[in-house]
Amino acid sequence: MKRLSVSALASEVGINIETVRFYESKGILPKPERTGGGHRKYSDEDIRRLKFILKAKEVGFTLNEIRTLASIRDGASNDSCDDVMELAARKITEIDQKMAALKEMRATLHELYNSCPEDTVGNCKILEGLSENT
């Protein structure tokens, strides 16, 4: 079993030391064992957990959601796979809503861009469009 320092752990998963400490402070990554000299020592499970946290973050879960998922993963709650699926379904819906909003933003900006005469600032349809009350 590995016993890694905080810098070795951070390097192993491709993040910085402050990020490791942040996840510890938020209770998502458990406090590690310490040596007699007070140095943190991380295990293989800490590596797996950090990779889990980073992947969950990558797909859009919030810190609170990651905390919930990690708790379920650890068996520390009575939640089931159905609960995980429900959380994932809500996240998919949230992502779909954000994607729809981004498409609308893009269409609006594209319309303003195409209406701009590339003339003077006084005739700029982009600035004019952004100044209109919606």
Which tens digit of pLDDT belongs to each residue from 104-128?
999 999 988 888 776 666 778 788 8
The pLDDT tens digits for 56-81 are 999 999 999 999 999 999 887 888 88
Angle formed by the axes of helices 6-13 and 44-58, to 10°?
Answer: 40
pLDDT at 120: 66
The structure tokens 């520390």 sit at 76
Please give the model's pTM, rounded to 2 decimal places.
0.78
Average pLDDT of the segment spanning 33-53? 91
Under 8 Å between Cβ of 17 and 29:
no
In order of 71, 79, 80, 81, 85, the CA distances from 75 in angstroms are: 6, 8, 9, 11, 16
> pLDDT digits over 80-98, tens only?
889 999 999 999 999 999 9
Phi-psi sector, 15: left (phi>0), alpha (psi -120 to 50), beta: beta
